């Protein structure tokens, strides 16, 4: 019997390793794809496990630079966060993984694709919207929605039965890692009365053990993107790595939130985004004095729509691209240097500079006289604007 080809988004973890064997038992020739977007040693482990599972075609692609350049930076230009807290570190990675996986399905003539996302989460939607965008006829298999292995213990029993070598000391949480962030879900975190354990956090230090002196740091922006740290040029990937390291030792970028999943469920997620938090903070302060008031408010009015589109999996939608074009058009004003002080999870502004600055000391100061602004004019301004309140 001829085996059907299927490309699996493969992480090398328990779930996707079981999926490989499960699909093989269903007469599929499994082709694995692992996107290297900054998971570190997990990439090597994924390859080793795929080989042990007798996978003949193993695709691993270094996508770190493309991830930062074409996904992370365009998103950060918006200065938006989902529901005011979440920096979208998982959501922003899924479009890239989907695109590259579909390239492999085309290259290998595979008519099927698969992923390891559960039927309760957002990732199933993000992956599958991407798959369908690139090939509307692709056949998708989502094992978590159809198989009988619907618990951790059943997965472990399946591993024992099929001699799948997985570390018996399984992780307490569902963890997602990339250059942008770490995320932690499930396990004890499902209990809202449970405080996240300190040893859960892998990429930031707590205030108790973070460094005991402040770090002064300047970030230089050109056309909206950070290009220098302390006046030293970095390429996009190394700049992110450097800011992650600095933010990590200062306890920057931890959040523990309840979020609204697209599918309608509220969930608890813990996230670490040290570098992204530093970029977002400094960008917002740069925007505050270089953007015209009405442009700023117009951009902010798009924030909920834009972040919802990315969170819900609509990166490739025409409306997301339209909003992105508006955001990108504004970036020509975003040139300058923001200096900050970082200490014990806190970030404070030290200084601001931009040759695009709209701040005028004479207009703002109570101690200086401005030729452009006559305080007498304020009376007429108030009279006109009060009309609708008194008529």
Residue 224 known to bind ligand: no
Distance CA 42, CA 223 (A): 34
Residues 255 and 4: their CA atoms lie apart, in Å, by 43
- Asked whether residue 254 is marked as a ligand-binding residue, the answer is no
Q: What mean pLDDT, rounded, does the chain reach? A: 94
Catalytic residue among 49, 94, 254, 352: 94
Q: Which two tokens stand for residue 304?
A: 């909920």
174 is in an annotated binding site: yes
Q: State yes or no: 262 annotated in a binding site.
A: no
Specify the CATH architecture of the domain 177-353: Alpha-Beta Complex (3.90)
Residue 230 has pLDDT above 90, yes or no: yes
Res. 241 pLDDT band, cuts 50 70 90:
very high
- Per cent of the chain over pLDDT 70 is 96
User: What is the b/e burial string over 109-139, where b = at least 16 CB atoms within 10 angstroms of the residue's CB?
Assistant: ebebbbbbbbeebbbbbbbbbbbebbeeebe
Query: Using alpha carbons only, how large is the chain's radius of gyration in Å?
Result: 24
Q: Is 333 annotated as a binding residue?
A: no
Q: Is the pLDDT of residue 366 over 70?
A: no
How far, in Å, CA of 36 to CA of 42, rounded? Answer: 9
Token pair belonging to 205: 């230090």
Per the annotation, the verdict on 94 as an active-site residue is yes
Answer for the pair 274, 241: CB distance below 8 angstroms, yes or no.
no
173 Cβ contact list (under 8 Å, min separation 6): 184, 185, 186, 187, 189, 200
Q: Is 123 a catalytic residue?
A: yes
82 is an annotated ligand-binding site residue: no
Beta strands in 223-345 (DSSP E): 225-229, 232-233, 254-260, 266-272, 336-343
Over residues 19-30, mean pLDDT: 96
Q: How many residues does the chain have?
A: 391
User: 103 by DSSP, 3-state: which?
Assistant: helix
Asked if 49 is an active-site residue, the reply is no
Check the annotation: does 118 bind a ligand. Answer: yes
Q: Where are the domains of the chain?
A: 4-81+89-172, 177-353
pLDDT for 279 beyond 70: yes
What Cα–Cα distance (Å) separates residue 195 from each residue in 75, 190, 191, 192, 199?
A: 30, 10, 9, 8, 12
Q: What is the pLDDT of residues 180-216, one digit of tens each?
A: 999 999 989 999 999 999 999 999 999 999 999 999 9
CATH number for the domain formed by residue range(s) 4-81+89-172: 3.40.50.620
How far is 64 from 346, CA to CA, in rounded Å?
Answer: 28
Nearest partner of 92 among 327, 326, 307, 254, judged by Cα: 307
CA distances from 121 to 124, 268, 293 (A): 6, 12, 38
| 351 DSSP β-pair partners | 339
If you average pLDDT over each of 168-172, 174-178, 344-348, which comes out highest? 344-348
- Is residue 78 a known part of a binding site? no
Characterize 330-367 residue by residue with b for buried, 16 or more Cβ atoms within 10 angstroms of its Cβ, and e for exposed: beebbbbbbbbebbbbebeeeebebeeeeeeeeeeeee
Residue 275 token pair: 């570098």
Neighbouring CB atoms inside 10 A of 300's CB total 14
Catalytic residue among 36, 77, 105, 123: 123
Active site residue 157: no
Residue for token pair 């270089």: 290
Please tell me the distance from the alpha carbon of residue 369 to that of residue 373, in angstroms, as a whole number: 8
- Cα separation, 42 vs 48, in Å, equals 10
Which of the four pLDDT bands, split at 50, 70 and 90, describes residue 172?
A: confident
Helix (H, G, I), strand (E, B) or coil at 29: strand
Q: Would you state the pLDDT for residue 150?
A: 81
Q: What is the pTM of this model?
A: 0.92
The answer to whether 336 is annotated as binding is: no
Q: How far apart are CA 254 and CA 202, in angstroms?
A: 11
Q: What is the pLDDT of residues 78-107, one digit of tens each?
A: 999 999 999 999 999 999 999 999 999 999
Active-site entry in 15, 36, 176, 225: 15
Q: Which of 159-168, 248-257, 270-279, 352-361 has the lowest mean pLDDT?
A: 159-168
CA distances from 74 to 118, 184, 306, 310 (A): 28, 24, 12, 12
Give every strand in the sheet of 336-343, ordered side by side.
232-233, 225-229, 215-222, 336-343, 346-353
Q: Which residue has the higher pLDDT, 318 or 367?
A: 318
Is 13 marked as binding a ligand?
yes
> Average pLDDT of 265-281?
98
Residue 40, annotated as binding a ligand:
no
Is the pLDDT confidence value at 368 over 90? Answer: no
Residue 263, H or E segment: none
pLDDT at residue number 168: 58
Closest CA to 78 of 280, 378, 355, 233: 280
């Amino acid at each position: 019997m001829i085996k059907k080809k299927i490309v699996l988004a493969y992480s090398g973890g328990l779930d996707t390793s079981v999926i490989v064997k499960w699909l093989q038992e269903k007469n599929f020739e499994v082709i694995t794809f692992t996107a290297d977007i900054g998971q570190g040693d997990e990439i090597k482990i994924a390859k080793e496990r795929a080989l042990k599972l007798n996978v003949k075609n193993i695709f691993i692609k270094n996508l770190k630079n493309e991830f930062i350049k074409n996904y992370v930076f365009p998103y950060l230009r918006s200065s938006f966060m989902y529901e005011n807290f979440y920096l979208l570190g998982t959501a922003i990675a899924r479009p890239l993984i989907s695109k590259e996986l579909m390239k492999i399905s085309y290259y290998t003539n595979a008519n099927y694709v698969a992923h390891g996302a559960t039927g309760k989460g957002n990732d199933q939607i993000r992956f599958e919207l991407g798959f369908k965008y690139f090939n509307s006829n692709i056949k998708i298999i989502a094992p978590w929605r159809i198989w009988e292995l619907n618990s951790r213990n059943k997965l472990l029993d399946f591993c024992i039965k099929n001699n799948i070598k997985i570390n018996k000391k399984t992780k307490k949480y569902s963890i997602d890692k990339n250059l942008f962030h770490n995320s932690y879900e499930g396990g004890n975190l499902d209990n809202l009365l449970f405080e996240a354990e300190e040893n859960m956090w892998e990429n930031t230090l707590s205030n108790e053990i973070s460094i005991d002196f402040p770090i002064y740091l300047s970030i230089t922006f050109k056309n909206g993107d950070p290009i220098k740290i302390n006046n030293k040029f970095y390429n996009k990937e190394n700049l992110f790595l450097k800011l992650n390291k600095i933010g990590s030792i200062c306890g920057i970028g931890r959040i523990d939130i309840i979020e609204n999943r697209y599918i309608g469920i509220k969930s608890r997620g813990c996230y670490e985004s040290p570098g992204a938090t530093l970029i977002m903070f400094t960008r917002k302060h740069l925007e505050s004095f270089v953007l015209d008031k009405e442009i700023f408010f117009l951009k902010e009015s798009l924030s909920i729509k834009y972040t919802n589109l990315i969170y819900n999996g609509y990166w490739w939608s025409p409306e997301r691209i339209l909003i992105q074009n508006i955001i990108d058009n504004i970036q020509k004003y975003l040139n300058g240097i923001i200096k900050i002080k970082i200490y014990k999870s806190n970030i404070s502004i030290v200084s601001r500079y931009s040759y695009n600055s709209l701040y005028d000391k004479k207009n703002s100061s109570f101690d200086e006289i401005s030729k452009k602004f006559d305080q007498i004019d304020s009376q007429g301004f108030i009279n006109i604007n009060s009309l609708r309140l008194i008529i």
